[in-house]
Amino acid sequence: MTADSEMVEPAGPRFSFEGRPREARPGDSVLDVLLRDGLPNLQRSPHYHRPRAPLCGLGQCTNCLVRVNGRPNVRACRYEPAEGDRVETENGWPSRRFDALAGFDLLFPSGLDTLHGFRRPAWATRFYQFVVRRLTGFGAPPSSESAARLRAPPEVRSVDVLILGAGRAGRACAARLVAAGGSPLVIDRARSLEPVSGAELLTRTTVSFLPPRPADGARPFEVLAYTEPARGLLLRAQRVVVAVGSYDASLLFGSNDRPGVMTADGALAMAPRGGPPPFRAAIVFGAGDRAAEVVRRLEAQVSALVAPGVVPPELVRVCSDAGVEIYPRSLLVRAHGRSRVRSVELVARGSGTVSRVACDAVVLAHRRVPNVPVLFQVGTRMRWHGDPGAYFPEVDPAGRTSVPGLWAVGSVAGARGAASPLSGDRAARSLLGALPAGPVDASRPEAGPGEFEGYYRELLRRPRPGRWVACPCEDILLKELEAVTAGGYRGVEVAKRYSGLGTGLCQGRYCLPDALLVLALHEGRAPSEVGYSTQRPPVHPTPLAALAALEPQMAPSEER
């Protein structure tokens, strides 16, 4: 046997994508396989039929949905194909590359009102439904065969400590509890992770809290968990540690949904196993540590850095070492290109000088926001922080929240770096009774205007070329969101009901951070007064069939 043949990777499962055979390596997701041919445009947007390509690489957006063996809305970046799987794209007619329905874009530039139109004459209803289903672009319902497969036997478990998130903070917390003789259950939505020594780890699992525990703690937390591909779980936990981390936010600009626009999470995830990312000359938007990380790790594929503000000397040094051009204090106004970003238009803040920079990707590394939906859902008292412009839970120095029995640690609680006092280790010591409750940390500025409020104030005063997509999942445009305030309505919850923003599969993760800033500017009040939209379970997409299997076990909840 030669040295070369010894290095050949073991073969993985074979599956079909749009009828053509594909072969994965063990551990590959469907997206990993497709990325070998470059960035795939996997779907069309639901209203305007715009081409869309993966944005986050984390399983949080809705830009990589495919249909697997008749099951709709499976995220290609999370799904590891099995032998013989049939993977298809879900929308676009006759194909995702050429969507004839995009012609409606020209006929109805403000969008087609499929809700109120298509109603008369009533006898044509079945025909309208046929047409509207194709126009709305959400694919077809699950096949009966795939729905039946999801009816796994119900399971109910009781645990003392449940840790949500197996990153640095979650692991540190688990390690300390295990060392003290405990046996926490750790849950993470990642596809595969190193085991957590001594603790049980469930991967590919998402969670939602059922209605909050009463203030007297008389009942355990009830957490609905769903493990891909087909297992529903009802967990009853006495104590819960939330360590679900943070993610890179999206950004408002013209054609911000073009294929090639992606978050820093997405750019790094789409360079699998150290391979090249699916671009050759990206611009990185941002001026902080995250932007520096992207430039360092992907320097051969980054051509320019566009900073919303001043570029710190350390980042200037990183860019000049990598030969990356810098555009400081710039507004990103628009992306050009149809099926892929080809260039961006910038305006220098202050002078107003316009420049156009060629690129094949825009990597958003300007703002990391905490992954807070489960904290809102369980009723944690939250506090707005101007920098980075997001809500964080109110916690004491050990991560204890306002909800008895609930801790929040790591970056979801605002920790910065391993040395932060909001570490998993401190939370574990507090759970073990070794740390008394302390005062809520008020050291961070509460509601001062953040960098991005100023950025958007300047940007939104300018002309707005191209389509500015405020909510990519539901294809809600920025002007539709602004029409809410113009119509006299106030607050994000009302804006959600009026416009549909935040009602898609990502449940507002990518639209709410920016929408809060925009609404605050238009309403002339602080983002904290604009509110946050109600987070109802499940906060992650969960097949109804998997939930239905749990229904008999959840009977006691009916008393609530």
Contact residues: ligand FES, CB under 6 A? 54-61, 63-64, 75, 77, 266
Q: Which is nearer to ligand FES, 65 or 311 (CB)?
A: 65
Q: How far is CA 511 from CA 60, 335, 341, 506, in A?
A: 12, 18, 21, 9
CB of 250 to ligand FES, least distance (A): 11
As measured in angstroms, the least distance from the Cβ of 199 to ligand FES is: 27
- Minimum Å gap between C-beta 473 and ligand FES is 10
C-alpha to C-alpha distance for 137 and 544, rounded to whole angstroms: 20
C-beta of 267 vs 428, nearer to ligand FES: 267
Nearer to ligand FES among residue 40 and residue 184 (C-beta): 40
Give the angle 25-28-31 at the CA atoms, nearest 5°.
Answer: 125
What's phi and psi for 371, nearest 5 deg? -90, 80
Q: How far is the CB of 394 from ligand FES (least distance, A)?
A: 30
Considering the complex, what minimum distance in angstroms separates the CB of residue 267 from ligand FES?
11
- Structural element, H or E, at residue 233: strand 231-242
Separation of alpha carbons 139 and 133, rounded Å: 8
Give me the least distance between CB of 10 and ligand FES, in Å please: 25
> Which DSSP state fits 232?
E
Q: How many Å from the N-terminal Cα to the C-terminal Cα in the chain?
A: 67
Tell me the residue type at 133.
R
**Residue 61 or 395 with smaller CB distance to ligand FES:** 61
- Report in angstroms how near the CB of residue 64 gets to ligand FES at its nearest: 3
Residue closer to ligand FES (CB basis): 139 or 393: 139
Q: How far is the CB of 206 from ligand FES (least distance, A)?
A: 12
Number of Cβ within a 10 Å radius of residue 95: 11
Which tokens hold the place of 41?
């445009």
Q: How many residues does the chain have?
A: 560
* Residue bearing tokens 């993610």: 247
Phi, psi of 266, rounded to the nearest 5 degrees: -65, -45
d(CA 401, CA 393): 7
- Identify which of residues 305 and 539 has a Cβ nearer to ligand FES in the complex: 539
Compute the least distance from the CB of residue 246 to ligand FES, in Å: 16
Q: Of 235 and 362, which CB lies nearer to ligand FES in the complex structure?
A: 362
| Shorter beta-carbon distance to ligand FES: residue 304 or 512 | 512
The Cα 194–Cα 206 span in angstroms is: 18
Query: What are the tokens at 66?
Result: 């495919």
| Residue nearer to ligand FES on the CB measure, 228 or 453 | 228
Under 8 Å between Cβ of 235 and 223: yes
- From the list 542, 528, 541, 535, the residue with the least C-alpha distance to 473 is 541
Closest by Cα among 201, 195, 168 to 183: 201
